[in-house]
Amino acid sequence: AVRAGAPPPLLVHLRRRRDAQRSWAMGSEVVGPPGTSPGQQLRALFYVLPPGESSFRTVEEVPDYVEKSIPFFITFIGLEFAVSWVQKRKLSGRINDGISSLSLGILSRLPDVLFRSVDLISYIYVWNNYRLFELPWDSPWTWYLTLLGVDFAYYCFHRISHEVNILWAAHQVHHSSEDYNLFTALRQSILQKYTSWIFNLPMALFIPPSVFAVHLQFNLLYQFWIHTEVITSLGPLEWILNTPSHHRVHHGRNPYCIDKNYGGTLIIWDRIFGTFEAEDAKVVYGLTHPVNSFDPIMLQLRPLAHIWNTFWATPGFCNKLSVIFKGPGWGPGKPRLGLPEEIPVITGREVPFNPSVPAYLNCYAVVHFALIVDLYTELLATVTMLSQGTILLRIGFIILSLTSFGLLMENRPKVGILEIIRCLVFVGVYKLGCLRSQFSSLGYAYEV
């Protein structure tokens, strides 16, 4: 059909979807976004790219700052490992937890291969149909107002995600790591994005989508580098900005850390609304009731299964609704957010979930995970050229692989059988041409 000059509807849809993803756009004609220099991209990571360099007339012109930041992510992760070794003579993370975090990051992005960004779709729809007035896109005042608006919307959503059980079931994925490093920043929920967009819609009544699209990315990028222990304090900036110290508290399961420091870029919202807490006693990271798994599917779904079981086990219709819409610690007769005294006490002797795995198995997992990252990146680059069946097959294989790696890191019985099946599936679909590497010269090596 393509050679005959009439692309099938599916191919047209896929091309339009990919164009929308790459340009953060939704429109009739997609114009290639302007390039950004490495210096600009680095400053974007720290939210210090000024209005004059990051204001655009249309959404189509907005660069994909997040995608362009991937080399910086890798560089900073390597730098964090080096600094941690110099400071403490130990690495800043573990192989099993790192692979788990990266697996959750990939899993959270897979829906974007099939669907457009719900944040921008909803925002542009409201802007096109219901805006009250239009602020100038090239005004510095609009730029700074959007910075505050996006960050305040994030604070509101982030806080509600901790205080409403059904939303916490999605957000807890990000808190499930018992390490705290730059890998943790990439540990994301697959479900959270389908509720967060609501909080941005009031801005669509007057702020142009192109300005919003820039700050949506900057707010996300800023939160990458604060997931580290190698930076202790930033001095006076701690009063205004969300910093590694403040965010370490947010990720802690110590009683003094629970439900604190929700800010994205700025910490002023926490100071205003009484949710700020300074770093004090040594922070122990993770959930108050750890999931104890590296399986990305289990980490995503187990809290939902817990809500389901609690819902049916709780008597009374109003109590059942409370299970869903009150805090994770709520129970009949308790306050909305539960009882603080029921939070497990931290003794300082907590041991992270870390099953014993042979060194060769760690090496095996790292090599095969790198292969999956290659296949995932190639999928993103060629999605517009693929049939729907091939896309679904590749996504299915990636999910199978990430699950198998998680179970390998747990040293589960009989997981070797699943891994053998996965490898056989890989060889079959690779021979059939349904999977492709970015590096064609490595095709034979991959099969071996």
- Write down the pLDDT at residue 70: 86
Q: Both 259 and 320 in a single domain? A: no
Task: Label residue 1 exposed, middle or buried (CB < 10 Å: 0-12, 13-18, 19+).
Answer: exposed
Q: Write the pLDDT tens digit of every residue in 108-154.
A: 989 888 877 788 999 999 999 999 999 999 999 999 999 999 999 99
268 compared with 383, residue with greater pLDDT: 268
Per this entry, what is the length of the chain?
448
Q: Both 194 and 262 in a single domain? A: yes
- Write down the pLDDT at residue 113: 84
Nearest to 208 by CA among 419, 418, 61, 106: 61
- Write down the pLDDT at residue 6: 40
30-39, 193-202, 413-422: least confidently modelled range: 30-39
User: If pLDDT is split at 50, 70 and 90, which confidence band does 28 have?
Assistant: very low
Q: What percent of the chain has pLDDT over 70?
A: 92
When pLDDT is averaged across residues 174-183 and rounded to a whole number, the result is 96
When pLDDT is averaged across residues 156-168 and rounded to a whole number, the result is 96
Q: How far is Cα 287 from Cα 167, in angstroms, rounded to an integer?
A: 15
Q: Both 376 and 336 in a single domain? A: no
- Please list the residues that pair with 241 across neighbouring strands: 266
Q: How far is Cα 96 from Cα 111, in angstroms, rounded to an integer?
A: 24
Nearest to 394 by CA among 407, 405, 381, 406: 381
What are the CA-CA distances from residue 112 to residues 117, 170, 236 (Å)?
7, 17, 39
Q: Check pLDDT > 60 for residue 7.
A: no
- Write down the pLDDT at residue 35: 59
Residue with tokens 């021979």: 431
Nearest to 153 by CA among 262, 290, 288, 310: 262
User: If pLDDT is split at 50, 70 and 90, which confidence band does 402 have?
Assistant: very high
- Write down the pLDDT at residue 158: 97
- Write down the pLDDT at residue 116: 72
User: 320-331 burial, b if ≥16 CB within 10 A, otherwise e?
Assistant: eebbeebbbbbb
Q: Both 64 and 177 in a single domain? A: yes
User: If pLDDT is split at 50, 70 and 90, which confidence band does 23 have?
Assistant: very low
Q: Both 100 and 129 in a single domain? A: yes
- Write down the pLDDT at residue 438: 81
Residue 298 domain-assigned (yes or no): no
Residue 188 domain-assigned (yes or no): yes
Q: Both 213 and 263 in a single domain? A: yes
Nearest 5°: CA angle at 229, between 228 and 230? 95
Residue 354 domain-assigned (yes or no): no
What residue type is 215 in one-letter code? H
- Write down the pLDDT at residue 34: 53
DSSP type of residue 286: S
User: If pLDDT is split at 50, 70 and 90, which confidence band does 432 have?
Assistant: confident
Nearest 5°: CA angle at 155, between 329 and 141? 170
Q: How many domains does the chain have?
A: 3
Q: Which domain holds residue 419?
A: 359-432
Q: Both 392 and 326 in a single domain? A: no
Q: Check pLDDT > 70 for residue 37.
A: yes
What Rg do the C-alpha atoms of the chain give, in angstroms?
Answer: 23
- Write down the pLDDT at residue 16: 45
User: If pLDDT is split at 50, 70 and 90, which confidence band does 9 have?
Assistant: very low
Residue with tokens 């490595």: 442
Residue 17 domain-assigned (yes or no): no
Q: Write the pLDDT tens digit of every residue in 225-262.
A: 999 999 999 999 999 999 999 999 999 999 999 999 99
pLDDT averaged over the chain? 89
Q: What percent of the chain has pLDDT over 90?
A: 73
Q: Write the pLDDT tens digit of every residue in 299-311.
A: 999 999 999 999 9
Residue 250 has phi, psi (to 5 degrees) of -60, -35
Are 306 and 166 in contact by the 8 Å Cβ rule? The answer is no
- Write down the pLDDT at residue 30: 34
Q: Both 88 and 224 in a single domain? A: yes
- Write down the pLDDT at residue 93: 87
Nearest 5°: CA angle at 415, between 414 and 417? 75
Q: Write the pLDDT tens digit of every residue in 68-96.
A: 898 899 999 999 999 999 988 888 889 99
Q: Both 77 and 207 in a single domain? A: yes
Residue 393 domain-assigned (yes or no): yes
Residue 348 domain-assigned (yes or no): no
CA torsion, points 77, 84, 276, 253, in degrees to nearest 10?
90
347 compared with 165, residue with greater pLDDT: 165
Residue 12 domain-assigned (yes or no): no
Nearest to 25 by CA among 145, 121, 128, 160: 121
Nearest 5°: CA angle at 278, between 273 and 281? 140
What residue type is 369 in one-letter code? F
Nearest to 22 by CA among 57, 65, 76, 54: 65
- Write down the pLDDT at residue 79: 95
Are 246 and 227 in contact by the 8 Å Cβ rule? The answer is no
Residues 140-143: contacts with CB under 8 Å, at least 24 apart: 140/51, 140/52, 142/207, 142/208, 142/211, 143/51, 143/54, 143/55, 143/211, 143/215
Q: Both 268 and 395 in a single domain? A: no
Output the pTM of the full model: 0.88
Q: How far is Cα 190 from Cα 404, in angstroms, rounded to an integer?
A: 18
The DSSP code sequence of 227-267 is S-SS----GGGGGTB--HHHHHHHTB-SGGGTT----SSBS
Q: How far is Cα 119 from Cα 360, in angstroms, rounded to an integer?
A: 43
Q: Both 378 and 317 in a single domain? A: no
Q: How far is Cα 230 from Cα 226, in angstroms, rounded to an integer?
A: 10
Residue 228 domain-assigned (yes or no): yes
Write out the two tokens for 128: 């096109």
Helix (H) or strand (E) segment spanning residue 272: helix 268-273
What residue type is 144 in one-letter code? Y
Q: Both 246 and 391 in a single domain? A: no
Q: Check pLDDT > 80 for residue 204.
A: yes
Q: How far is Cα 180 from Cα 231, in angstroms, rounded to an integer?
A: 12
Q: How far is Cα 408 from Cα 18, in angstroms, rounded to an integer?
A: 34
CA torsion, points 45, 50, 51, 53, in degrees to nearest 10?
-80
Nearest to 60 by CA among 115, 23, 11, 13: 23
Residue with tokens 């589960």: 412
